């Protein structure tokens, strides 16, 4: 298949490389990132999109996505598919899908979970929003780049699933870290704490699969000096998207709000930028109640 790929950064680069390895013909455009081997470099986004059956975008945010959409939608052939895999606000996802459909294109939002390792290994999870026809068309490509693709409903629902998942993830990481720091102060051994919680009702993905304490439980960024992994500022981005969506939908999300505020404080005032989102644990270790 002829594929246009726009945004070949930490995630998009390896995703495009996996499409090439599966035999697809990929033309890429990025403002800065180098093209992975086998990807033909285009000089503009429109050039990458022209003549492609599917155009995939993997961009930093909704504003950039909207700007790129203005450029590529008019360049794409009628009936082609615009698949956005970035994590963006639900409103931008729906606006871009409407724009594409009005121009006679198919559209799908398919944000991912699984991070850079999942992108490299082709084991991402995709959560997709769009028509059946769009989902069916993109599914074989999602199956190359990932191990699971869930069709969540109409346009924007992929982003809705993503931000709900990451709101749970952010809040759970915080409470897992504060529990480790509390256990320390109570004189409870971390390994004992892990052994109990990981097999009791407090278990979670953050405790069991991404243990934020070095040397305990699953190997994770904590074992690598809290180098990301999933950076704190990206978690903050997703929590802000969740709160923006909650406000627009008039949903009461006090835990999500608290998590967003704490990550904002951590990233913007406490040097958390550039650390993994599990670096909340060393943050709590240093603090008392005051």
Percent helix, strand and coil across the chain, each to the nearest 5: 50, 15, 35
Among 32, 186, 187, 286, binds ligand NAD (CB under 6 A): 32
Which CB atom, from 115 or from 202, has the smaller least distance to ligand NAD?
115
Which CB atom, from 60 or from 154, has the smaller least distance to ligand NAD?
60
Q: Which stretch binds ligand NAD (CB under 6 A): 60-68, 101-109, 249-257, 262-270?
A: 60-68
Q: 106 forms bridges with which residues in the sheet?
A: 81
> What's the angle, vertex CA 80, arms to CA 79 and CA 83, rounded to 5?
130
- Residue 45 interacts with ligand NAD (CB under 6 A): yes or no: yes
Do you know the residue count of the chain? 290
- Residue 30 interacts with ligand NAD (CB under 6 A): yes or no: yes
Q: Which stretch binds ligand NAD (CB under 6 A): 16-24, 109-117, 197-205, 206-214?
A: 109-117
Q: What does residue 73 show for φ and ψ, rounded to 5 degrees?
A: -55, -45
Which H, E and C letters describe 29-70, residue by residue?
ECCCCCCCCCCEECCCHHHHHCCCCEEEECCCCHHHHHHHHH
Give the DSSP letter string of 177-197. Answer: HHHHHHHHHTT--HHHHHHHH
By CB under 6 A, the count of residues binding ligand NAD is: 26
CB count within 10 Å of CB 264 equals: 17
- Residue 120 interacts with ligand NAD (CB under 6 A): yes or no: no
What residue number has its CB nearest to ligand NAD?
9
Residues numbered 79 to 98 that lie near ligand NAD (CB under 6 A) are 86-87
Residues interacting with ligand NAD, by CB under 6 A? 6-12, 29-33, 45, 58-60, 64, 67-68, 86-87, 112, 115-116, 230, 234
């Amino acid at each position: 298949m002829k594929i246009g790929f726009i945004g070949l950064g930490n995630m998009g680069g390896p995703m495009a490389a996996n499409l090439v390895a599966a035999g697809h013909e990929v033309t890429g455009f990025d403002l800065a990132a180098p093209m992975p081997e086998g990807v033909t470099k285009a000089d503009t986004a429109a050039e990458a999109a022209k003549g492609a059956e599917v155009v995939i975008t993997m961009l930093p945010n909704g504003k950039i996505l909207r700007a790129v959409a203005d450029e590529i939608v008019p360049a794409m052939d009628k009936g082609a598919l615009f698949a956005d895999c970035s994590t963006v606000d639900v409103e931008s996802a729906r606006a871009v899908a409407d724009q594409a459909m009005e121009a006679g294109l198919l559209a799908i939002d398919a944000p991912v979970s699984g991070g850079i390792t999942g992108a490299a290994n082709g084991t991402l999870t995709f959560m997709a929003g769009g028509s059946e026809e769009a989902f069916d068309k993109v599914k074989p490509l999602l199956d190359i780049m990932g191990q699971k693709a869930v069709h969540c409903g109409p346009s924007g629902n992929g982003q809705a699933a993503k931000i709900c998942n990451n709101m749970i993830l952010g809040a759970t990481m915080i409470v897992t870290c504060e529990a480790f720091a509390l256990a320390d102060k109570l004189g409870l051994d971390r390994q004992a704490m892990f052994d109990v919680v990981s097999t009791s009702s407090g278990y979670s993905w953050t405790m069991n699969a991404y243990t934020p304490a070095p040397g305990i439980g699953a190997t994770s960024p904590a074992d690598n000096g809290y180098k990301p992994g999933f950076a704190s500022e990206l978690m903050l981005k997703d929590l802000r998207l969740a709160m923006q969506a909650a406000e627009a939908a008039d949903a009461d999300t006090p835990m999500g709000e608290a998590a967003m505020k704490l990550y904002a404080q951590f990233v913007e005032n406490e040097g958390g930028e550039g650390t993994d989102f599990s670096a909340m644990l060393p943050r709590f270790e240093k603090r008392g109640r005051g």
